[in-house]
Structure 1
Amino acid sequence: MTKRKIIACLDIDNKRVVKGKKFQDVKELGDPLELAKKYETEGADELVFYDISASVQQRGMFLDLIRQIGESIEIPFIVGGGIQTLSDVELAIEAGADKVSINSGALNNPDLLREASERYGSSRIMLSMDVSQSETGQWTVFANAGMQDTGMDANEWAQKGAELGAGEIVLNCIDEDGMRNGYNLELTKLVADSVSIPVVASGGAGSAEHIREVFEQTQAQSALVASILHFNIVSLADLKDAARGVTSER
């Protein structure tokens, strides 16, 4: 039996925490180091740092900021954004990442997942997916912070990522991102049922009930939350209470 986890998410742009809706209208919200410490103190199981503009701007990671946060918290620390090569994975881990989340880099070079998992172990390598539903109902994968539709089927890419060695999948629904209407249960269930590795539900959390709902109705093992924490809509304690007692057979 596996305890369901709550993962606090820091979307980073220009070294500040930001948040938008459906990847649009991004607003600055605060200092990442302060929020990282705050969410750890309040009970987050893990913390994820996503540099949302690194791939788009074709620049390296904010290694100094990653190092500061990694040295300041003890909960598992996930780093993503701008991970394009095996060297980038190494730099993130050396800077303090316990896990590395790979998105566009894996789409550009799927073998990166295999190479990274072989060197560092699958448990430290995550496949991050930004997904949207087309007018025909197909779930497709987007690259470059949701700006580029790859046309790739989301479920097929999730299965491929697992085969290549990813130890976990962060499944973000662009259509629900920042909307606080709840996770997309259809998408989450589809992917979580088709892979044997843990899936992190992402995009849409707006209440403690949404946490309970995604854990009870899908096989997701973790829930990623951002704006409801940043705007003090729901406390981490309430989110943890919603997740408590809901366990997975996987």
Structure 2
Amino acid sequence: MITKRIIPCLDVDHGRVKKGVNFVNLTDVGDPTEIAAAYEQQGADELVFLDITATKEHRGAMVDTIEKVASQVFMPLTVGGGINSVADMQALLRAGADKCSLNSAAVRHPELITQGAEKFGRQCIVVAIDVRWQAAKKRYQVVIDGGHTPVDLDAIAWAKKVVQLGAGELLVTSMDKDGTKNGFDLRLYQLLTAAVNVPIIASGGCGAIQDFTDLFTQTTVDAGLAASVFHYGELTIPEVKTELKEAGVSVR
């Protein structure tokens, strides 16, 4: 049986971990290197590092910060933000990343997905998709630039497209749920897992251990990602894994 992964996320803005609600009102949480080391000790399965302002500010990810974080963790490290070329991906992998996450760049330059997969392997290419429910069209809509720019893309159709182009994994965040702590968007992940056959990381809305249990018992996603509940010590990764085991969910 494939074990489910519990993944903390570092949303990093100019070298500091930040967290907001619905992608706005960011508050400072702390130093990414110290926080990464704590998650290593807790037994996190992976770590996601997202430079959340790199794309909006038209700059690359902060390689020096990524190097410091990578020096503290032995678990797989996914890095996203400011990736606009294969050379950018190579720089992040050399800095210690195991996977590169493409979001806005994937929408603007979908060929980057294929180029990265061909050079580094599909397993290195994660496409991150930020979505929100678009009531007028009764669909999940793709939003880029750190939640600032809605685009005319259906999220389920886009997920299928990026997998065809070479994405080996998807990191899908519900903007409607982000930071609200009222549970994952289970319907979104049910639709996604029915549409594609690559691993999916669910993100947005976790506020309690039961939310992880619901996610893994009501959908077939491979991983659950959370930020604020871990950053503020409301939950620990060992607590989550113990509860999931009791619920019959296979975890490491």
Please report the TM-score for the alignment, with normalisation by the length of structure 2. Answer: 0.96
CA distance in 2, matches of 1:217, 1:151: 29
CA distance in 2, matches of 1:242, 1:216: 13
Say whether 1:246 aligns with 2:249: yes
* Structure 1 position 131, deviation (Å): 0.2
1:194-219, CA deviations, whole angstroms, 9 ceiling, x for partnerless residues? 10001000000101100010011111
Contact 1:211 1:242 in 2 (8 A): no
**Equivalent residue number for residue 22 of structure 1:** 22
5 Å-filtered alignment, 1:48-197, equals 48-136=48-136, 137-197=138-198
CA distance in 2, matches of 1:243, 1:194: 26
Q: Which runs of 5+ in 2 are unaligned?
A: none
1:12-58, CA deviations, whole angstroms, 9 ceiling, x for partnerless residues? 00100000000010001101000000011011100010000000000
Matched residue SS, 2:71 = helix
Contact 1:169 1:199 in 2 (8 A): yes
Contact 1:113 1:166 in 2 (8 A): yes
CA distance in 2, matches of 1:198, 1:247: 16
Contact 1:170 1:199 in 2 (8 A): yes
Q: Aligned-pair RMSD on alpha carbons?
A: 1.1
Contact 1:4 1:222 in 2 (8 A): yes
* Structure 1 position 239, deviation (Å): 1.4
Contact 2:190 2:220 in 1 (8 A): yes
1:48-73, CA deviations, whole angstroms, 9 ceiling, x for partnerless residues? 10000000000111100101111221
CA distance in 2, matches of 1:139, 1:73: 34
Residue 242 to residue 118, structure 1, CA distance change in 2 (3 Å): farther
* Structure 1 position 241, deviation (Å): 2.0
Matched residue SS, 1:156 = helix
Matched residue SS, 1:127 = strand
CA distance in 2, matches of 1:127, 1:28: 26
1:105-143, CA deviations, whole angstroms, 9 ceiling, x for partnerless residues? 100111101110111011111010000001222100001
CA distance in 2, matches of 1:117, 1:247: 29
- The one-letter code sitting in structure 2 at the alignment partner of 1:132 is R
1:125-166, CA deviations, whole angstroms, 9 ceiling, x for partnerless residues? 101000000122210000100100012000000000111111
* Structure 1 position 247, deviation (Å): 4.5
**Equivalent residue number for residue 37 of structure 2:** 37
CA distance in 1, matches of 2:241, 2:134: 33
Contact 1:4 1:243 in 2 (8 A): no
Tell me which stretches of 4 or more aligned residues in structure 1 moved more than 4 Å: none
Percent identity reads: 38
CA distance in 1, matches of 2:59, 2:77: 21
**Equivalent residue number for residue 9 of structure 1:** 9
Q: Which runs of 5+ in 1 are unaligned?
A: none
**Equivalent residue number for residue 227 of structure 1:** 228
The alignment of Structure 1 onto Structure 2 pairs a total of residues equal to 248
